Amino acid sequence: MDLRHTMRSRRTLSAVAVTAGLLLTVSGCGGGEGGKSDKGTSSSSPSKSRSDAGEKDSETAEPDTVLAEVKGEDGLTLAVTSAKRDQGGYVTVQGTVTNNTDSIWVAASWRGDERELSKNGASIAGASLIDQSGKKKYLILRDTSGRCLCTQFSGGVRQGATADWFAQFPAPPEGTSKVDFQVGGMPPASIEISEGE
C-alpha cells in the first residue's frame, strides 16, 4: 500500500513539474500584441545575420590568432594560438598539433623524461616555457598525483588530423612577456604572453 501511494505521489509531482515547465516556456515565448511580436521577429533576423557575420569574421581572423607555428618531427606542425597569464599565478598555453606523418602519432616524445611524468602517457607533459632574458625554465604544472595540467592525446592523432592541446605553467615574473615554448624534438616557438581577464 505504501509503495502504491509513493508511486502515485511521484507521478503527481512529475506531472506538476512538467506542467509548470511548459507554462514557463509558453509564457517566456509568448508574443503579446501584434506590434511587439513583429519587433521580436525582425530583431531575431539581424541577430542571425550578426552571428553569421561573426562566424565569418572568426574564420577569417583565425589565422591571425596563431602566435607561433613550428614544424618538425617528421611532418608534425605545432601551432600556439593563445598564451594567457591568469590571476592564479599561472600561464595557460593553447594550440593545435597537425599530424602530417605517415602514421598515427602518439606523442611519445612529448610526455617528458621525468619519472613523475611516466603516468601521463601520450600527453604534452614534457613541455616547458623558457625565459631567455631571466634564464629560467618553467616546467608544466602537475596535480598531487603527478598528472600534468595538460592535454593527453588519448588514442593518438590520426594521419592528416589536427588536435587541440593546452598546457599550464607557473607564471614568469610580471615584466616577462616573451618566452619560448618547447616540447619534444620540436623547435622552440617564440610566443608573447597576454594578460588574462
Q: What is the pLDDT of residue 172?
A: 93
What is the identity of the amino acid at 115? R
Q: What is the pLDDT of residue 34?
A: 47
Q: How far apart are CA 55 and CA 86, in angstroms?
A: 27
Q: How far apart are CA 141 and CA 125, in angstroms?
A: 9
Q: How far apart are CA 167 and CA 49, in angstroms?
A: 35
As a whole number, mean pLDDT of residues 28-53 equals 42
Q: What is the pLDDT of residue 64?
A: 55
Distances (CA, A) of 19 to 13, 15, 26, 80, 118: 10, 6, 11, 50, 54
Q: What is the pLDDT of residues 117-173, one digit of tens each?
A: 667 778 888 899 999 988 999 999 988 888 889 998 888 899 999 999 999 999 999
- 186 in Cβ contact with 78 (< 8 Å): yes
The domains of the chain, with CATH numbers, are 2-63 (no CATH), 66-195 (2.60.40.1240)
Q: What is the pLDDT of residues 4-38, one digit of tens each?
A: 444 455 555 454 444 444 444 444 444 444 444 44
Q: What is the pLDDT of residue 43?
A: 39
Q: What is the pLDDT of residue 197?
A: 62
